[in-house]
Structure 1
Amino acid sequence: MTASDVLDLGVSEHMATASRELCDLKYHLDMLSRNGIFQDFQNDWMGASSTCAFHGATFLSRVVPFLDWESSPQAEPFNAMVDCRHVLGAAIKGKPGNIEAKEITERIARYSKHHTDNDLLQASYWWYRPLGILVAHEGKHRVAFMRTNGDLPIAARVTPVGYPAPERLKLVEVAGDHPQYFAMLDERYLQALERPDVTRKYLSAYGVKTLHWSSLKALPDLNLVQAAIKLGQQETVDIQKLNAFKATELDEPRKQKLELHNLEGYDFEKWHYFAICLGLMATALTASIASTLIEWRPLEFGTCVLLGACTALAAAPWVMRWRKRPDHNRLAAWFSNRAPGKKTRCLG
């Protein structure tokens, strides 16, 4: 088989190298899975709990934001010989070293042939064409096997899928002692980056630029974005919805200054309030008269305190002003649904 027989990924050499390096990383992690602290490290890096290798799509979603934003197939599936170095597989139930030497040649022959019968399920791979990388659905274990035995091509049923063009994407850095990073799509949608260094390295090869949060206009308050991600319990934040929430639920109510004696929907019980004030005033006057008859300094001081308290209490309803406090818990209602275009796919 010649190089021309293998699927042409159609990406730049820079992008092809980045995808190949990402697949190298996944391959080596697979070889270390099910092995003590190496598995624990993978679990920490993936932010999930597992006892074996992770699916290729799960791995890729940790690195590439908005991965399934354009999940509809771009063309009909077709048979192709695929370069195994560009496929994210998953050695879940076994590794190449578990295969007996006498079976290797026969397995290579089987994995290099397109099958139409039921003796072996045909490999099924999704091809993220703009990125030059494939994800194994069926035929996950073949990737590590063919790599271990000479980086041999794999016969597979390939389904091309899309990914947003680089000019639609931005990586946004929030400076600080512990920098944060977000990916922004179409100047509207935000996702927090889980593995920012790897993502920046990979998407820079794709042509995505990194900008600073402070250099971008019309972005919501960072604390509000973080609250939306946390309270909305989803990874994508719609900037337009967040700005609308801020304008209608936070800014406008906070501009409304309410007076204690004129709260909408409530009647101020004036006589009850002023009865207390008059009672204190009467007590203060009685103490004042008594202080003129009895020269006792503590009584004079107490009279002054009572008179001051009466004055403050009587004036309080007209002096105090109230503003509505921001209720970030209401964000959950605004972000209860997934943003348009976000679809979930299960690799099995």
Structure 2
Amino acid sequence: MTEPDNPPLNLIKQPASIGHEDVVKELATLKIELDRYARKTIGQPLLNDIGDNDRGTCALHPDSLMAVLIPFLNWEDQNGQAYRAFVDPKHVVGTNIKGHPENVPPEEVVNRIERYATYFGSRDNALYVWYKPLGLFIAHEGKHRVAFMRSHDQPAIAAWVQEAGYPAPSRITIIEPSDDRDEWLAMLDGRYIQVLRRPNLARKILDAYGVSTARWQNIDHLPDEKMVRLAIYERRLHRPARTRKEIDRTLDLQALLARMAKDSQEQYFHCHELGPYRLDWKRNILAVACLLIAGGLFVMFNHEWVIRAGIGLLGVATGMILSHEVLRFKGPKKLRNPNTLDRSHL
């Protein structure tokens, strides 16, 4: 493939605070070190637990792991076409899936360093997504060369780079749970909620990025916390995600409020519609049948007071039959009780 005429950019130096850059570097280092546990008896299950992937058989894919650690990672669109750039491998989250740097034969090391440092080729050779606000690169192609270049203390990798956005720190709030047994949450734009699957690590990353932390009750204009957590549990958003789509891992508070408003609208119910309670039809039919039989027998007597009693019994039986259709109950369309929050999921 012929490389474009535009000269490659130099993205080695990141315009980030020292504290945040240190977190990015440690995160990239941690990923490479974790990969060494792949395909081991205990190491692989550990990686699967960390990455929310119970079927994993090798090292964690960079973007899959980062999506578990960083909320709303792919919320913003990836911008424009990929371009060539020199990237510091210390800022790149890569992978060791098919061997480690020390497995490269010594006679190939020099040539491989030169190729990785100078040859761009196509996007199939090395494509890194640059989450520019975070100062973090995530390798899609060319994942293995990251560990190799780091191990040989090389300053740059020649790669194709595609930019991706990330919400500004002011748009995100870390929500500390009111109950220690509950999950930490991240809220975007005062509307969208995601569960922090790895809260301690996620908080460290977001703190360095400049995100603030607050308790639910200290944030204005939010619905009841128990109701929100109940909705999270109903959608199983506190469990490992089975999709890469951010919207499928997110609770929309506006949509929740609209649903709650609809559920709270009052309507009429017949007695046989009061689920989960049901009328005991056998007992009811038995009582009506006894009254009808007794009333029918009484009206057959010649004594006036017995006949009147029989008519009364028949009237009571008729009233019991008609009451099922005449009686109506008024209440919310759907009853929600946050005080009965089930913690069996924990």
Same fold by TM (over 0.5)? yes
Structure 1 equivalent of residue 329 of structure 2: 321
Structure 1 partner of 2:22: 17
| Cα separation, partners in 2 of 1:262 and 1:325, compared to 1, 3 Å | closer
Match of 1:219 among 223, 242, 252: 223
**CA distance, structure 1, for counterparts of residue 215 and residue 267 of structure 2:** 34
Shift of 1:77: 3.1
Q: How many residues align?
A: 291
Counterpart of 1:79 in structure 2 is 84
Q: What aligned pairs does 1:1-348 form with structure 2 within 5 A after superposition?
A: 7-48=12-53, 49-73=55-79, 76-116=81-121, 122-216=125-219, 217-219=221-223, 221=227, 222-229=229-236, 234-248=248-262, 250-252=263-265, 255-260=266-271, 276=289, 278-279=291-292, 282=295, 313=320, 317=324, 321=329, 323=331, 326=334
| Compared CA separation, residues 261 and 144, structure 1 to 2 (3 A) | closer
Residues 84, 316 of structure 1: alpha-carbon distance in 2 compared, 3 angstrom cutoff = same
SS at match of 1:180: coil
1:259 is displaced (CA, Å) by 4.9
**Deviation string for 1:133-153 (max 9, x for gaps)?**
101122100001111122542
1:57/1:135 contact within 8 Å kept? yes
The structure-2 alpha-carbon separation of the partners of 1:91 and 1:314, relative to structure 1 and needing over 3 Å to count, comes to: same
**1:66 offset after TM fit, Å?**
1.0
Shift in alpha-carbon separation, 1:83–1:275, aligned structure 2, 3 A: closer
Q: Equivalent residue for 1:343?
A: none
1:218-266 CA deviation, whole Å, 9 max, x = no partner?
A: 3351212321345997211211111111111x211xx334354999xxx
The two structures have a TM-score, normalised by structure 1, of 0.72
Q: Give the secondary structure class of the aligned counterpart of 2:181.
A: coil
Residues 12 and 156 in structure 2, CA contact (< 8 A), matched pair in contact too: no
CA distance in 2 between partners of 1:155 and 1:201 (Å):
30
Tell me the C-alpha RMSD between the 2 structures: 3.7
Amino acid at match of 2:101: P
Change (3 A) 1:259 1:54: closer
Sequence identity percentage: 34
**Is the CA contact 1:191–1:235 (under 8 Å) kept in the aligned structure 2?**
yes
In the TM superposition, residue 207 of structure 1 has moved relative to its aligned partner by 1.0
- Give the 3 Å change call, closer, same or farther, for CA 284–128 of structure 1 in structure 2: farther
Give the gaps of 5 or more residues in structure 1. 264-271, 287-305, 329-348
Which structure's relative contact order is higher, taking Cα pairs within 8 Å and 6+ residues apart?
1
Q: Deviations over 1:77-121 (max 9, x none)?
A: 3322211111011111221121112211111111111334x8x95
Structure 2: give runs of 5+ residues left out of the alignment.
1-8, 243-247, 275-284, 300-312, 337-346
